[in-house]
Every structure is written in C-alpha cells, then in structure tokens.
C-alpha cells in the first residue's frame, strides 16, 4: 500500500520524475497544478487568508494581538490554510542605485540635470551616509506545500488523505477519524487537528473549484499576483525567469524555495520566491519527508523478513536434522 519514492512509480513520470496523479491511479490526469508564491510582490494584504476562509467556510480562530509585526494569524492550522508572515528587518540602504531597465525602451540616465546652485549639496556632508530607510519588511503567504512525497499521505491509515488527479494532497473529512498521525509527519507543520472536532484539516488547493476549472480562491483574490496558480511545470519556468529578472534588477537575494524536484520532499506543489533565507520566513531550510525511506525500508524489511524466514527455516531444518541425528 506504500507510495514508493524514486522507485518504479517514479520512473513512470516524465523526465524520470514522479507524476503523483498518474502514479496513484488517476487515468489520464490533467497536468499537475500548484502555487507559485512570489513574495517579492506580496503586499501583505491577507486577501488570501480571507478568500480562503470565505470559500471554505472556515471559522475565525483567535482575536488576540500577537505583537509579531502585522501577523496576528501566527501560523497555518486547521482553520487557517493561508498565512501571511511579516518579517521586519533592519538592513543597509535598500534604495537601488540605478533605475531598473525598462522593457524595450530607451533608458534615461538618472542625473542629467545639474544640481541647484552651491546649496544643492555639492559638498559631502554627513547626510551622504543617511540615505533611505534602512528597513526591509518581508511579507510572504504560506500554504500547504502539496509535496511530491507527502508524508501526511503516507502515514494516513484510513485513506482520508489522498492524492488527487491534479497532483494535490487533500484530506477527506468524511473519512478522517482524527488519529492525528499526519500532524507530526508533516515536515512543514502545516496540517493540524481542529480542537473541538479532532479531525485534521489543511489547504485543499480548493479541490472543488479545480474540478470545475476554477482557480483556488486565494490565487484569484491576490491583488498583485503574488500567488500564482497553474500547471506546475509552467510555474517553475515562470519562477526561474522571475528570479533572473530580480537578479538583474539588483536583488541578488532572490531565490526559489520548494521548486527543486530533488529536494527532501521531491519538490513542492506550492513553491516560493523568497528574498532571504527560508528560516527568516519560518520555513524549514531543508525539509525532509520522514517517510522518504519508507519504500526502501519496506523492501529491507521484506528482505529481512524473508532472510529471517529463511534463517528460521534453515534453523528449523537444522534443528530438525540435529534432533533427527540425535534421535
């Protein structure tokens, strides 16, 4: 019953990668879909949080001020399937020194105009050392990663969690019995049991909407397209281009997170463009699916079992022979 990783099922996917939907018996599945969350354009409005709650009719879950910047949601949970993190940083001058190059237009130099008189700051003053605000405010909308190798799915004993035809991971609340095995299994701490209910809940990537050809509620609402939804392959291409563009524009810290099919979870179905280390956003730097080696372990176990059985058989035979010999 185990979903194998990098084993036979992995070889069935394109380019040697797992194709989670096809590998789990969905005939002619649509392309795997996902989220690309580009935090460099996130304005921290939390429309994603609200649109998610409205669509999925999730309850409000707490009215206390966290004093963690503008983050009063604090984390993903059973009733919070999108969470916007706010990170306030003090950094050296963030103002760029050059105008980002316009697309297909003449670029104009920045200082073609002579400065006003002698008063306009010809001489170096201490003001030279105090340019713009030395602050950076990172905002990032977090969500279930819909891992290629999903530990929650692997450990679910009831079949409540399943891999959809879209390659996403969804909890079926009519099946879930609230055992909670999935909770510690998740390397991101995403899935959670609702206290008054016991069952586990998390982002479904709006499974119901996907079935009707609609995009997830959060992606639809996002005012700046920080949350992009689409076929994962396309998103990965787009994300790579975006990182290149940011690097060119003088944002060397831009990097992708969760996009790599070779990472510890086989790549995320929801991946991110970050402007700092993942830990800064509260994301694990190197997530590992705890069930990563489950297949190999099963095979080992099976082998060991066989060996044991063989050994037992041999031993029994030997014993029998010995007995026989003694007799």
Partner 1 sequence: MRDLRRLLGEWPVYRQLTGGDPTGRGSAAVSPRTQRTRPRTDLTDRVVKSVCPYCAVGCGQEVHVRDEKVVQIEGDPDSPISRGRLCPKGAATLQLTTGSARRHQCLYRAPHSREWRSLDLETAMDMVAERVLRTRRETWEWEHEGTRVARTMGIASLGGATLDNEENYLIKKLLTGLGVVQVENQARVCHSSTVAGLGTSFGRGGATTFMQDLQHADCIVIQGSNYAEAHPVGFQWVMEAKARGARVIHIDPRYTRTSALADYHVPLRAGSDIAFLGGVIRYVLENEADFREYVTAYTNAAHLVSEDFRDTEDLDGVFSGLDEESHTYDPASWQYEGSPVQASAGAREPVADRRTQDTSGDPATQAAGGSETHGSGGAVAAARPRRDETLRHPRCVYQVLKRHYARYTPERVEEICGVPRRLFLRVCEDLVANSGRERTSAFVYAVGWTQHTTGSQYIRAASVLQLLLGNIGRPGGGIQALRGHASIQGSSDIPTLYNLLPGYLPMPHHRAHQDLDSWVDSTRTGKGYWHEARAYAVSLLKAWYGDAARPENDFCYDHLPRLTGSHDTYATVRAQLDGACKGYFLMGENPAVGSANTRMQRLGMAKLDWLVVRDFSLIESATWWQDGPEIETGELRTEDIATEVFFFPAASHTEKSGSFTNTNRWLQWHEAAVEPRGDARSDLWFMYHLGRRLKERLRGSTDPMDRAVLDLTWDYPVTGPHDEPSAEAVLREINGKGVHGEPLSDYTALRDDGSTSCGCWIYSGVYKGGVNQAARRVPHGAQEWTAREWAWAWPADRRILYNRASAAPDGSPWSERKAYVWWDEPSRQWVGHDAADFVPGLAPDHVPSEDDVGVAALRGDDPFIMQADGKGWLYVPAGLLDGPLPTHYEPQDSPVTNGLYPRHARSPVLLQSSRPENRYHPGADEPGAGVFPYIVTTHRLTEHFTAGGMSRWSPYLSELQPEFFCEVSPMLAAERGLEHGGWATLVTARNAIEARVLVTERMIPLTVHGRTVHQIGVPFHWGPNGLSTGDAANELVAVAQDPNAHIQEDKALTADIRPGRRPRGAELPQLVAEYRRRAGITAETGSLARQEGSKND
User: By CB under 8 A, what part of segment 152-211 binds partner 1?
Assistant: 153-154, 156, 159-165, 170, 172, 174-175, 206-209, 211
Size of the site for partner 1 (CB under 8 A): 102
Name the phi and psi angles at 200, rounded to 5: -95, 140
Considering only the stretches 214-222, 286-294, 299-307, 311-319, report the one whose residues sit in contact with partner 1 under the rule CB under 8 A: 214-222
Contact of 41 with 254, CB cutoff 8 Å: no
Q: Tally the residues of the chain.
A: 327
Q: Which is nearer to partner 1, 179 or 214 (CB)?
A: 214
Cross-strand bridge partners of residue 171: 161
Q: Which of residues 291-320 bind partner 1 (CB under 8 A)?
A: none
Contacting residue, 85, 221, 239, 265, with partner 1 by CB under 8 A? 221
Contacting residue, 125, 279, 285, 324, with partner 1 by CB under 8 A? 125
| Tokens read off for 219 | 């992606």
Q: Min. distance of Cβ 100 from partner 1 in angstroms?
A: 5
Q: Are strands 270-274 and 227-231 parallel, antiparallel or unpaired?
A: unpaired
Q: Min. distance of Cβ 69 from partner 1 in angstroms?
A: 7
Cross-strand bridge partners of residue 35: 229, 270
Contacting residue, 116, 196, 279, 286, with partner 1 by CB under 8 A? 116
Q: Which of residues 31-50 bind partner 1 (CB under 8 A)?
A: 41, 43-47, 49-50
Task: Say whether residue 327 binds partner 1 (CB under 8 A).
Answer: no
Query: H helices of 90-231, where?
Result: 151-155, 182-185, 207-211, 217-221
Q: What is the DSSP letter of 69?
A: T
Q: Which is nearer to partner 1, 183 or 284 (CB)?
A: 183
* 51: helix, strand or coil: helix
Contact of 264 with 287, CB cutoff 8 Å: yes
Contacting residue, 14, 15, 65, 92, with partner 1 by CB under 8 A? 65
Picking from 229, 187, 181, 231, the residue whose alpha carbon sits closest to that of residue 14 is 231
Q: Min. distance of Cβ 38 from partner 1 in angstroms?
A: 11
Contacting residue, 15, 60, 279, 285, with partner 1 by CB under 8 A? 60
Q: How far apart are the first and last CA of the chain?
A: 47
Q: Which of residues 73-112 bind partner 1 (CB under 8 A)?
A: 73, 88, 90, 94-96, 99-103, 105-106, 108-112
Contacting residue, 11, 137, 304, 322, with partner 1 by CB under 8 A? 137
Q: Which of residues 235-294 bind partner 1 (CB under 8 A)?
A: none
For residues 20 and 167, what is the distance between their CA atoms, to the nearest angstrom?
A: 5
Which residue's structure tokens are 């306030």? 88
Contact of 132 with 126, CB cutoff 8 Å: no
* CA separation, residue 258 to residues 158, 206, 255, 262, 263 (Å): 28, 20, 10, 10, 7
For residues 238 and 232, what is the distance between their CA atoms, to the nearest angstrom?
A: 10
For residues 143 and 189, what is the distance between their CA atoms, to the nearest angstrom?
A: 10
Contacting residue, 25, 92, 285, 325, with partner 1 by CB under 8 A? 25
Q: Which is nearer to partner 1, 220 or 255 (CB)?
A: 220
Task: Say whether residue 56 binds partner 1 (CB under 8 A).
Answer: no
Contacting residue, 11, 16, 133, 293, with partner 1 by CB under 8 A? 133
Q: Which is nearer to partner 1, 163 or 236 (CB)?
A: 163
Q: Which is nearer to partner 1, 62 or 310 (CB)?
A: 62
């Amino acid at each position: 019953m185990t979903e194998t990783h990098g084993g036979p099922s992995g070889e069935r996917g394109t380019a040697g990668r797992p194709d989670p939907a096809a590998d789990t018996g969905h005939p002619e599945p649509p392309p795997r879909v996902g989220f690309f969350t580009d935090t460099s354009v996130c304005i921290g409005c939390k429309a994603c949080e609200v649109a998610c709650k409205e669509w999925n009719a999730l309850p409000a879950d707490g009215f206390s001020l966290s004093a963690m910047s503008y983050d009063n949601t604090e984390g993903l949970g059973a009733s919070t399937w999108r969470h916007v993190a706010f990170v306030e940083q003090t950094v050296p001058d963030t103002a760029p020194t050059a105008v980002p190059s316009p697309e297909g237009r003449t670029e104009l130099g920045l200082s073609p105009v002579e400065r006003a008189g002698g008063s306009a700051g010809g001489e170096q003053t201490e003001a030279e050392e105090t340019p713009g605000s030395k602050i950076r405010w990172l905002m990032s909308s977090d969500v279930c990663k819909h891992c290629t190798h999903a530990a929650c799915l692997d450990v679910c004993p009831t079949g409540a969690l399943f891999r959809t035809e879209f390659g996403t991971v969804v909890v079926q609340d009519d099946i879930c019995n609230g055992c909670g095995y999935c909770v510690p299994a998740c390397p991101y701490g995403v899935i959670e049991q609702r206290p008054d209910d016991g069952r586990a809940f998390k982002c479904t990537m709006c499974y119901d909407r996907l079935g009707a050809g609609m995009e997830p509620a959060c992606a639809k609402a996002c005012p700046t397209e920080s949350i992009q939804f689409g076929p994962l392959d396309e998103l990965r291409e787009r994300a790579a281009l975006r990182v290149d563009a940011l690097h060119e524009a003088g944002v060397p810290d831009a990097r992708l997170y969760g996009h790599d099919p070779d990472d510890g979870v086989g790549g995320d179905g929801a991946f991110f463009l970050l402007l700092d280390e993942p830990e800064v956003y509260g994301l694990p730097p190197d997530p590992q699916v705890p069930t990563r080696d489950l297949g190999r372990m099963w095979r080992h176990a099976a082998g060991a079992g066989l060996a044991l059985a063989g050994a037992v058989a041999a031993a029994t035979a030997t014993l029998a022979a010995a007995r026989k010999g003694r007799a």
